[in-house]
Amino acid sequence: MSTFPRISLKPEVADHLRSVFLNKEVLAAVGHQVAESRFQKLLTCLSHPPSHTCIRASTHLAPLEEIRHKLAEELEKMCSSSAGEVAVQIVPHPRIPDVLLLPVDGPRPVKQLSSEVVVGAQCGSAVLRGAHVFAPGIVASPKYMKAGDAVSVLSDSEGRCTRGATSFQGNRVFVGNGVAQMDRSAIFCTEEPVKGVGVRMVEPLYQSPSFDGVLPDMAFLQNLPSVVVGHVLGPRPGERILDMCAAPGGKTCHIAVLMRDQGEVVALDKIRNKIGRIRQNAQMLRLRSIKVYCFDSTRAVSSDPTAGAEGTGPHDVHRQTDNNNNTWKYYLCCVSPIPGPPFPPESFDRVLLDAPCSGLGQRPNMSCTWSLKEICSYQPLQRKLFQAAVRLLKKGGVLVYSTCTVTLSENEEQIAWALETFPCLMLQPQEPHIGAEGMLGAGLSPERLRLLQRFSPELTWDQTAAPLPCRADGDTIGFFIAKFLKN
């Protein structure tokens, strides 16, 4: 159901995307009317949140059903103060054994109030996915706002509101009502960085539980395609695996869980202030096989086998009994730990390249202010990373490439380039394969397109009556996955 305007894009970007989704191969296959309809649905669904919240359960710490029960108890406690609140439905995914799905209720009939708080676009998107309004996200509030005031929350979709304003009449989108937790002066008239919840949402337009502090070691918020990536990679105990662009560490931790924390997971990211988040997530989930380095992955290949840097990771023996009474014994010397980056060629059994991208598949996203030059700037970087990934992968190893964008140039065109550039690579079937096949337009054969996995929410935008598990597979963020074997 369409509630918000279509995503706002610069005209040059909108024209470029339209040419992508109405390329010659697509037009020849489905015709202009179908292709145009798909493109318009894409622009609409990108500004709306998915119809579900996806939770990756920490099944290495407890069985799925136990986590589901604990989560239900916690959410019932949160909802107990709301009169007439219906118990939250929690549904296991039928094909992915560590995923729980919660339906999102919306859009709901919420009446807008006269007192308005304006938040940044990123904050507004978080509210649409169940978050409260944290004070740093507030850009405008009534002049005399006090803690306890009922306010409507509106998102500044184009980022034009001046911080500290008392009102704003530009393009804004209503996302729900809440109660101010701070006075205006505590938000804007302080020299210290403002922290904490600024508005507690009580009538969000889209009702979804807030997971702030809820079972942090058991329930990990993650988009469904991001969980699928870990399963497609297929990590096994005792392997050495590289996550090339790892922050904030959700996929890194999932890889370690899937290999039962036996072996070595090397996580690289070149942005230093993101490294701590990876370590924090690993510690919270009690994972000891992860080594984290601040390093540029385009430079991760060394011709010197003795080269390396210090990292952080375990070297001691550790035993742990899992929820099936199996004793895990894991220690990094079982995979002969190598020094940190740069690494010798063919150092890893599996490589995940979740590449930096234009992010045009993220939802909800009401506005993208990037220029066409910025949107198209990622392909060269992705290819540099891909070249490093192939060199670091052992013969017989698996490489998974993924993005959270919808363009051809960052997805199918990269696959066509990779297959031509690296004859040693072969596309492989993916399991699970719950998304659509690859998109026409890059000259790939139908057989190769079927091996790709593109999550295309516009394809199921009108199918609102399907059961939640079926609807969840299609109503995701825009995402792309390709799996290769190195011969």
Binding residues: 245-251, 269, 296, 354
* Cα(235)–Cα(91) distance, integer angstroms: 26
Mark the binding-site residues for S-adenosyl-L-methionine, compressed into ranges.
245-251, 269, 296, 354
Residues 6 or more apart in contact with residue 53 via CB below 8 angstroms: 101, 102, 104, 129, 130, 208, 209, 211, 221
Q: Which two tokens stand for residue 142?
A: 């009534």
Centre a 10 Å sphere on the Cβ of residue 111 and count the other Cβ atoms it contains: 8
* Three-state SS at 343: strand
Provide the sign of the torsion angle of the four alpha carbons 19, 20, 23, 27, taken in this order: negative
Within 13 A of 18's CA, how many CA atoms are on the CB side? 12
Contact 269, 290 (CB under 8 A): no
Closest CA to 1 of 480, 479, 471: 471
Of 123, 357, 368, 404, which one is the catalytic site residue?
A: 404
Instruction: Specify the residue for token string 């949107």.
Output: 375
Dihedral angle over CA of 43, 49, 50, 56, nearest 10: 130
To the query of whether residue 404 is one of the catalytic residues in this protein, the response is: yes
Question: Please, are residues 151 and 145 in contact by the beta-carbon 8 Å criterion?
Answer: yes
**Which amino acids are annotated catalytic?**
404
